[in-house]
Amino acid sequence: MAVTGIILVLFLVAHMLGNLKVFAGASSFDHYAHWLREIGKPLLPGVWFLWIMRAALLVSVVAHIWAATTLALRARAARPVQYAHRKKIQGSYAARTMRWGGVIILLFVIYHLLDLTTGTLNPVGDPSRPYANVVADFAPSRWYVTLFYTLAVVSVGFHLRHGVFSALRSLGQQTPQGERRAKNVALAVAVLLCAGYLVVPFAVLTGLVS
């Protein structure tokens, strides 16, 4: 979980930095999108690098989900009879929403790929004009898309809030001071990524980017 999680977090960081290019204008953003397809050239033929990255991400996602499912199944098997009196969460709220949060994020990722990668669900849907796709996506009239996007990003935030801490713990963080540090790092990563991702749609919504 920890290793695949960290790979995915690194991807999220890169993806967010790319997204922020949207503020540099349409041509810059589109240029960045095209460049993504050409990394590695001329060592590798075009889009190969992209597909290698995609494959690595896919493997990470699958491994991450597989590990999560294994843990969830083990947890279910470990408590065959449930408590009649369910208690409220006393530890961390984020920790207790990892599984449902993960499912929401997965659904979002599928939608997100169909929307902005293949363009299937996008009103513009032109792979060569990503900037236009983004602007069309978050147009005020399509407020529900922005809402769904926001919910998903907040889920990601919660997921990271516990996930980053948990990953550090799984990799052997072991002192009380380290625990405080790990929790702060997790919170910072969660907040920064949330902010970085949310600023784009809200910029479109408010007309800052058009």
The DSSP symbol for 142 reads: G
| Residue 171 interacts with another protein (CB under 8 A): yes or no | yes
Nearest to 95 by CA among 204, 28, 169: 169
Query: Residues 162, 7: contact at Cβ < 8 Å?
Result: no
Nearest to 207 by CA among 122, 124, 138: 138
| Residue 172 interacts with another protein (CB under 8 A): yes or no | yes
Q: Which is nearer to another protein, 59 or 75 (CB)?
A: 75
Distance CA 66, CA 74 (A): 12
Q: Which is nearer to another protein, 6 or 114 (CB)?
A: 6
Please, what is the minimum distance in Å from the beta carbon of residue 149 to another protein?
27
Q: Which is nearer to another protein, 17 or 171 (CB)?
A: 171
Please, what is the minimum distance in Å from the beta carbon of residue 168 to another protein?
8
Question: Which part of the chain contacts another protein (CB under 8 A), choosing from 13-21, 127-135, 136-144, 171-179?
Answer: 171-179
| Residue 173 interacts with another protein (CB under 8 A): yes or no | yes
User: x-or-dash pattern for another protein, window 148-167, by CB under 8 A?
Assistant: --------------x--xx-
Please, what is the minimum distance in Å from the beta carbon of residue 71 to another protein?
5
Q: Which is nearer to another protein, 33 or 168 (CB)?
A: 168
Q: Which of residues 52-111 bind another protein (CB under 8 A)?
A: 70-71, 74-75, 77-92, 95-96, 98
Distance CA 32, CA 27 (A): 8
Q: Give every CB contact of residue 94 below 8 A, 6+ residues apart in sequence.
A: 158, 159, 161, 162
Please, what is the minimum distance in Å from the beta carbon of residue 1 to another protein?
8
Cβ burial of 95 (10 Å; 0-12, 13-18, 19+) is middle
Q: What separation, in Å, do the N-terminal and C-terminal C-alpha atoms of the chain show?
A: 39
Supply the DSSP string of 98-109, one letter for each residue.
HHHHHHHHHHHH
**Which positions touch another protein (CB under 8 A)?**
70-71, 74-75, 77-92, 95-96, 98, 162, 165-166, 169-176, 178-179
